[in-house]
Structure 1
Amino acid sequence: MGNSICDRFQTDDVVCPAKLRSNILTTGAVDTIDRNPSSTTAKESLHGTAFSLFQQAEIDNLGTDREGIFINENLKRDKIKP
């Protein structure tokens, strides 16, 4: 399943949720997540990034469903694509 999703990301040339609709206003927000940034060890601290995407549907524009992700049974299962 992971390799099939990676194929979709490469085809679309973007990493985004499969359920995201196209042809609709989409806005995003990015924020950092820092817990105990002054710690001297990674064991006691966390630094991350949160991404949120919002889609604003309208009565006359609900957006367009994107093609579903299909599991390709022929992909190798022993390696995950980059």
Structure 2
Amino acid sequence: MEHAPCISQIATLLADPKRSAMMWALMDGTARQAEELALLAGLSPSSANAHLGRLSAGGLLKVEARGRKRFFRLAAPEIGAAV
């Protein structure tokens, strides 16, 4: 086995209701901007960016740069199935 995910770290990331709300908004496979995810989760843009940074660092999200904008999506379809 090359790399086994640490289940407790993933559970910690998903335990926060605001992060879970942003993850839920991405379950359909779309990529969304941080501002949109902030609105959906009821967060300020700066708080949303901090949460999205944690989810990205944890390997749950990937970031796509489109010009000056950053879009977030699930890192893999299997993440949506697992959640």
Q: TM-score when scaled to structure 1?
A: 0.23
More helix per residue: 2
State which structure, 1 or 2, has the greater radius of gyration over its C-alpha atoms.
Answer: 1
Compare relative contact order (CA 8 Å, sep 6+) and give the higher one, 1 or 2: 1
